[in-house]
Amino acid sequence: MSDYLIKALAFDGQVRAFALKTTETVGEAQKRHGTWPTASAALGRAMTAGLMLGASLKGENKLTIKIEGGGPLGAILVDTNAKGEVRGYVTNPQTHFDLNEQGKLDVRRAVGTEGTLTVIKDLGMKEHFSGQVPIVSGELGEDFTYYLVTSEQTPSSVGVGVLVNPDNSILAAGGFMIQLMPGTDDETITKIEETLKVIPPISSLIQKGLSPEEILNQILGEGNVKILDKMPVSFHCPCSRERIASAIISLGKHEIKDMIEEDGKAEAQCHFCNEFYQFNKEELEELLDKAN
């Protein structure tokens, strides 16, 4: 089944919850960037968390996540929106280490623990909302949890996981986000906390083939969850030849003349999706006319 996200309420509206499957979405990013397993896990976790944050937005609103933990992976950048579209990349996609002591991909080592997680929301207003927190774990699930609690004052628990096949392709990816609404009673809080202590890691649930609905039932209890919405999620990059052409025009006629005289062509590559665009001399001369 294609990737999708569910939004839900639980315990009579005291709890808001999200869960999603992102296997194909992360797989598309892996193919486009040629990421090695540890890099795939880090990028996939960030994209999965980003989709859940994006699902909290409305309309045309969007957000950008930047993770700079000081590790060998370099920066992770993720763009997402309220429509379930996401794109992302890492600075050093060919980053990989042996499994950690728990027998899992060593995301913490790749990301690093000396740096920040930044979330920038474009809500269609003049000023963007920006929140930044220090990296507290490097495993990313805990880091997004810390961001929500600290920057958005929302008690939350975020779980994200990615499993990688021996051939570097993505076996499974997904996650959950549980948020307590103001006034949640102590009994409900205790029940959720106790469950989160004993529930298997999200990657184990994904490996067993649990759907987003089943993941929430595991965490919140069968019969406690009311599904509000279900939407597809996917890797999507809005870059296009037309956009690149507009960007070249915006450089101005002198810059375009230099391209024509020095190289006789122009080349551009999108960081987010790795699409490559090339403009020959004749095409640049057309853009020069438009710039004039």
Q: Residue 228: is its pLDDT beyond 80? A: yes
Q: Give the pairing of strands 234-235 and 85-90.
A: parallel
Res 103: pLDDT: 85
Which residues constitute the domain of residue 278?
241-291
Do both 169 and 285 map to the same domain? no
- State the pLDDT at residue 201: 86
Q: Is 280 helix (H, G, I), strand (E, B) or coil?
A: strand
- pLDDT at residue number 23: 95
Q: What is the rounded distance in angstroms from the CA atom of residue 153 to the CA atom of residue 256?
A: 49
Burial status of residue 59 (CB atoms within 10 A of its CB: 0-12, 13-18, 19 or more):
exposed
pLDDT above 80 (res 158): yes
Ramachandran assignment for 103, one of left (phi > 0), alpha (psi -120 to 50 degrees), beta (any other): left
pLDDT (0 to 100) of residue 1: 62
H or E stretch covering 55 = none
Domain-terminating residue out of 202, 218, 235: 235
Residues 96 and 193 in one domain: yes
Domain end, chosen from 219, 235, 251, is at 235
Position 137 pLDDT exceeds 80: yes
Read off the CATH number of the domain in which 226 is found: 3.55.30.10
| Average of per-residue pLDDT across 3-18 | 95
Pairwise CA distance, residues 290 & 292, whole Å: 5
Residues 150 and 270 in one domain: no
- Could you tell me if 213 and 279 lie in one domain? no
> Are both 271 and 143 inside the same structural domain?
no
How confident is the model over 174-195, as pLDDT tens digits? 999 999 999 899 999 999 999 9
Rounded CA separation 176/218 (Å): 11
Same domain, 246 and 170: no
The DSSP H or E segment spanning 175 is strand 170-180
Compute the CA torsion angle 201, 232, 126, 49 (nearest 10 deg): 10
Same domain, 194 and 249: no
The pLDDT assigned to 266 comes to 87
Q: Based on the domain organization, do 110 and 146 belong to the same domain?
A: yes
Question: Does one domain contain both 150 and 222?
Answer: yes
Q: Domain count for the chain, please give it.
A: 2
**DSSP line for 80-105:** EETTSEEEEEES-SS------TTSS-
CATH number at 248 reads: 3.90.1280.10
